[in-house]
Chain A
Amino acid sequence: MGCHLHQTPFKMARIGRYLKALMGPQALFLIGVFIRLGLILALTPSIVSTWYVPFMSHSIANWSFDPWGTWLAHGGDPQAFPYGYSMWLTLLPGIVMSHWMGAPAYFGYAITLLLTDLITLKLLTRLIPNRPRFLMITYWLSPIPILLSYALGFNDLIPIAWLTLALVAIQTHRFGLVGVALMASIATKFSMILAAPFFILFFFKNNAIRHQFKPVVIGALLVSPLLWLPNLLSGSISSMLIYNREVQKLASLTWSIGTDPVALLPLAYGLALYSIWRTRRLNFNLFITITGLIFLGLALLSPSTPGWILWAFPFLILIQAESDRITIGLIGTYAVLHSLLAVTYFSGWPTPPILLLQHPIWVFVSQQGHLMNLTLLLGIGGLAWFRLWRDRVISDPFFRRSRTPFLLGIAGDSGVGKDTLQQAVGDILGPHSVSTISGDDYHSWDRHQPMWKVMTHLNPLANHLDGFQNDVLTLASGTQIICREYNHHTGKMSTPHPKRSNDFVIASGLHVLLLPSIRKRCHLSIYLDMDESLRRHLKISRDVGERGHSLESVLANIEKRQMDANRFIHPQRDWADLVFKLIPLHSLIPNAPIGPCRLVVHSRYGEWFQRLQRDLIVIAGLSVVTWGEIQDGYFEIQIEGDPKPNDLSLIASRLIPHAENLLDPHAKWGAGSIGLMQLFTAVHIHLALHRNHP
């Protein structure tokens, strides 16, 4: 290679490096910092110079534990500082520092906002990791926080930082901190109480973390005395809080019935809360989207309060992180318009810079002014709102399934492990989200009744299948049932007791798929098959060892049942979406461990088996004997080996997008074949949720 070859690439590399540096996150961050510092140095927003700074300066000059009382006593404007001690204490250090350094008091106020801004950015980095460039563009360089905070002087960034911390705390499962951050947000700006019901509903509509609401309350209660007691002791704060302009603006949008006005904003807010209440199950994504949409809706319906868009802002960024470019563009356009118009109306500038052009169209737009701009703002904002509602809420499988539970049917012969699988599936979905119903509870007679001498349990006539069908369908419609349970030890039915429905209803039994009404209603149907020698081995172990039957009676029972199994049980295999069959690899010895087995899986949705095969080999180190399409639209995969729970959990997280929304945060994965069945079931539930199913 010649010298030229050495030099040219290095030169190119340097140019590329400079280009990368210019558009890189660090450069974008610095640009954002310079814009903010420029605005801080160039502007002093009127609300800050008229209200906040005089109030804060007055409270420094006249030290008192009740600066609001002192302010009012000296004839101060009651609208000057309608916030509590939390906001006052947050702003105080910066203002004191400015006074001490001889700088304008506004600098202290603005530097506090800048620090809060940086904290919010850092928190958003925790929520959206590994996408620094995206965050720089959508948050740090967005005109919303820049113009609303540094050109107009709104202090909403401070409660928003607390609110974002609450979101980080939810995601990192630090639930005590959720309560602390939420309470701090409300204490800093009382209007943030509008966010509290969404957080409460999120916990109550999410079975997996509902029990964690207690630490949230404890966290909130622990900081409440600190945050609220000083406010309660100062009567002046209350009188200033009622002058809060934002509370008054809640009634700004009205609709008249005759001569009586009806405030539309509280009405819309109430309806939104009710619609969330009616949602059966909320996951983090839905919570973020719906809360963001409601805040965006409030901002759209009350353009006279531009600071409100900041409340929706962290939510909108999280939504944008998972949206397409059109949605990101719409929200970005709305952000620019909103900020420009806010600056126009609140800064005292006559028109936005773009409207200062002398072109006739701009003159026309300027003359039409408010009406045109508001129409444009509502149009773009409304479009973004509608698109998000359609793509992120209506299309969300959890939202679509929110009205009725997911019904999982498990059928199979006696002794193949239906109850074990039912339990194992409950372990990964979380017991709090699952209701189970067993066909065993609908046998017609107790164990010792004479009819069992002439009829097997496998015969549909020996079961109350109509009752079973009604109860499964009732649970699947989300309604509670009253049922009995069969006690395998005593052989008797219990007294009737209520059983509530849940997000997932698992119906297992000998005849689950024999009944067309249940079969059609199932979102996922599983048939458990087993090598006959293994089934006999396990059935003897269970019925003799666990349920206390004699060996002779169990053997006689197995023989007697064979014909009915062929007639009533085995045909159900063809109706299942997913079939598991266990085959022992070695001969079975009575009373000895079973040894390694091969799991054969047939699936109607086996297109993804190729991806699964890779992960089973690469991560779990399993032997995938064969896979491919077989007859009747089934795909087959045969697996040997002993996967570990951790490996299966990792594979599930790779195969199921946002697995955390489906699976319990503390999912208990089994090892070996049962763990593999859990994995297959979890993936099939995910597939079923994303299929159009009646």
Chain B
Amino acid sequence: MSIPRAILLDLDNTLYPYQTAHQAAHQLMVETLCRHTSIQPSDAESAISHAKQMVKSRLGAVAASHHRLLYIQTALEQLGLRSQVVLSLELEQIYWHCFLRSMVLFEGAYNWLDQCRLWGIPVVIVTDLTVQIQFRKLAYLAIDPLIHYVVTSEEAGCEKPNPAPFELALHKLQLQPADTIMVGDNPATDGRGAMALGIPFFHKLDTHSVADQQASLGFYDYAQLTHWMTSQWNPI
């Protein structure tokens, strides 16, 4: 494999641990809902979980299916409260405020992105979810100056592993699949989608996971990836 001319990069759980931020934000959102109302935490949890399933099955694999405001609106409606506009907005803001506050880049991720900049390899974020919140995440993590383009499922019209987001990224870069690599944590979405187009998949692993057999590389941290890229490709 020759040195790629660009890197397609997933965001959630690839550049920062998603679950940590989500759990903290979700817990605070549920606590706030229960504090404002007499709803029990278990009822709130179950309503939100049910609402999430309903929204996802209704909308399918599109960006809006991740919209927290829709989950909250549906959950409140399921709880018999109708559409509580202000409360829904407040809970959504609390969720994302806490989510952003809890986000921390994986060790070495910033240095790796900065190294890509120095090597002159453009980085394109290819991610599901809506553009507004993904932009906020990138800016909050202060990595936006290191990113050339962002492709969201909202922009592409469908989610990974559908080829549309990858094709849109390639179109923005004016490159062929073989010129790029895809770095992501999810073999089912990032891996399958990329490899279907002939884009090599680099699997970001967590401590306990094992690399996807079809992936070109499995790596545990970004220092390791930087070292591997330096030794394999010797980019200038």
Interface residues in chain A, defined as those with a beta carbon under 8 Å from any beta carbon in chain B:
1, 5-6, 8-10, 12-13, 16-17, 20, 130, 614, 617-619, 644, 646-647, 650
B101 within 8 A of A: yes
Q: Classify the interface of chain A: helix, strand, loop or mixed.
A: helix
* Contact A618 B97, CB 8 Å, known A5-B1, A20-B221: no
B93 within 8 A of A: yes
Asked whether, in the complex, the Cβ of A619 is within 8 Å of the Cβ of B97, the reply is yes
Asked whether, in the complex, the Cβ of A646 is within 8 Å of the Cβ of B217, the reply is no
B53 within 8 A of A: no
Which residues of A have CB within 8 Å of B224?
13, 16-17, 20
Asked whether, in the complex, the Cβ of A13 is within 8 Å of the Cβ of B217, the reply is yes
Asked whether, in the complex, the Cβ of B216 is within 8 Å of the Cβ of A17, the reply is no
The number of chain B residues with a CB under 8 A from chain A is: 25
Q: A9-B232, A646-B97 are in contact. List 14 more A-B contacts (CB 8 A).
A: A1-B1, A10-B217, A12-B217, A13-B218, A13-B220, A13-B224, A13-B228, A16-B219, A16-B220, A20-B220, A614-B142, A619-B97, A646-B94, A650-B97
Asked whether, in the complex, the Cβ of B211 is within 8 Å of the Cβ of A10, the reply is yes
Interface residues in chain B, defined as those with a beta carbon under 8 Å from any beta carbon in chain A:
1, 93-94, 97, 100-101, 104, 136, 139-140, 142, 200, 211, 216-221, 223-224, 227-228, 231-232
Nearest opposing residue in chain B for A19, CB measure: B224
Q: How far is the CA of A1 from the CA of B101 in the complex (A)?
A: 41
Nearest opposing residue in chain B for A130, CB measure: B104
Which residues of A have CB within 8 Å of B97?
619, 644, 646-647, 650
Contact of B220 among A5, A17, A130, A647 (CB under 8 A): A17
Q: How far is the CA of A274 from the CA of B216 in the complex (A)?
A: 65
The 10 closest A-B pairs by CB, nearest first: A9-B217, A618-B139, A16-B224, A5-B1, A618-B136, A618-B140, A13-B218, A12-B228, A650-B101, A9-B216
Q: How far is the CA of A16 from the CA of B218 in the complex (A)?
A: 11
Asked whether, in the complex, the Cβ of B93 is within 8 Å of the Cβ of A1, the reply is no
Which residues of B have CB within 8 Å of A13?
211, 217-220, 224, 228
Which residues of B have CB within 8 Å of A8?
232
* Contact A10 B136, CB 8 Å, known A1-B200, A646-B97, A650-B97: no
Q: How far is the CA of A1 from the CA of B198 in the complex (A)?
A: 9
Which residues of A have CB within 8 Å of B139?
614, 617-618
Which residues of A have CB within 8 Å of B221?
20
Q: How far is the CA of A617 from the CA of B200 in the complex (A)?
A: 36
Q: How far is the CA of A10 from the CA of B228 in the complex (A)?
A: 10
Contact of A618 among B100, B200, B218, B228 (CB under 8 A): B100
Which residues of A have CB within 8 Å of B211?
10, 13
Nearest CB in chain A: distance from B107 CB, A: 9
Q: How far is the CA of A8 from the CA of B211 in the complex (A)?
A: 14
A-B contact pairs, 16 of them (CB 8 A): A1-B1, A9-B216, A9-B218, A9-B228, A10-B218, A12-B232, A13-B218, A13-B220, A16-B219, A16-B224, A20-B224, A617-B139, A618-B100, A618-B140, A646-B97, A650-B97
Nearest CB in chain A: distance from B72 CB, A: 17
Nearest CB in chain B: distance from A660 CB, A: 15
Q: How far is the CA of A434 from the CA of B100 in the complex (A)?
A: 33
Which residues of A have CB within 8 Å of B216?
1, 5-6, 9
Q: How far is the CA of A321 from the CA of B200 in the complex (A)?
A: 40
Nearest CB in chain A: distance from B211 CB, A: 7
Which residues of B have CB within 8 Å of A614?
139, 142
Which residues of B have CB within 8 Å of A647?
97
Which residues of B have CB within 8 Å of A5?
1, 200, 216
Nearest CB in chain A: distance from B214 CB, A: 8
Asked whether, in the complex, the Cβ of A619 is within 8 Å of the Cβ of B93, the reply is no
Which residues of A have CB within 8 Å of B232?
8-9, 12
Which residues of B have CB within 8 Å of A619?
97, 100, 136, 140
Q: How far is the CA of A12 from the CA of B218 in the complex (A)?
A: 9
Nearest opposing residue in chain A for B219, CB measure: A13
Which residues of B have CB within 8 Å of A618?
100, 136, 139-140
Nearest CB in chain A: distance from B43 CB, A: 25
Q: How far is the CA of A13 from the CA of B229 in the complex (A)?
A: 11
Nearest opposing residue in chain A for B224, CB measure: A16
Nearest CB in chain A: distance from B174 CB, A: 22
Asked whether, in the complex, the Cβ of B100 is within 8 Å of the Cβ of A644, the reply is no
Asked whether, in the complex, the Cβ of B200 is within 8 Å of the Cβ of A16, the reply is no
Nearest CB in chain B: distance from A97 CB, A: 35
Q: How far is the CA of A101 from the CA of B209 in the complex (A)?
A: 41
Q: How far is the CA of A619 from the CA of B94 in the complex (A)?
A: 11
Nearest opposing residue in chain A for B218, CB measure: A13
Q: How far is the CA of A617 from the CA of B216 in the complex (A)?
A: 39
Which residues of B have CB within 8 Å of A644?
93, 97
Nearest CB in chain A: distance from B153 CB, A: 21
Nearest CB in chain A: distance from B21 CB, A: 14
Q: How far is the CA of A365 from the CA of B218 in the complex (A)?
A: 53
Which residues of B have CB within 8 Å of A17?
220, 224
Which residues of B have CB within 8 Å of A6?
216
Q: How far is the CA of A14 from the CA of B1 in the complex (A)?
A: 19
Most interface-central of A16, A17, A20, A647 (chain B CB within 10 A): A16
Nearest CB in chain A: distance from B31 CB, A: 14
Q: How far is the CA of A130 from the CA of B220 in the complex (A)?
A: 17
Which residues of A have CB within 8 Å of B101?
650
Nearest opposing residue in chain A for B104, CB measure: A130
Which residues of A have CB within 8 Å of B142?
614
Which residues of A have CB within 8 Å of B220?
13, 16-17, 20
Nearest opposing residue in chain B for A13, CB measure: B218
Which residues of A have CB within 8 Å of B200?
1, 5
Q: How far is the CA of A647 from the CA of B232 in the complex (A)?
A: 44
Q: How far is the CA of A618 from the CA of B139 in the complex (A)?
A: 7
Q: How far is the CA of A646 from the CA of B100 in the complex (A)?
A: 12
Q: How far is the CA of A646 from the CA of B1 in the complex (A)?
A: 49
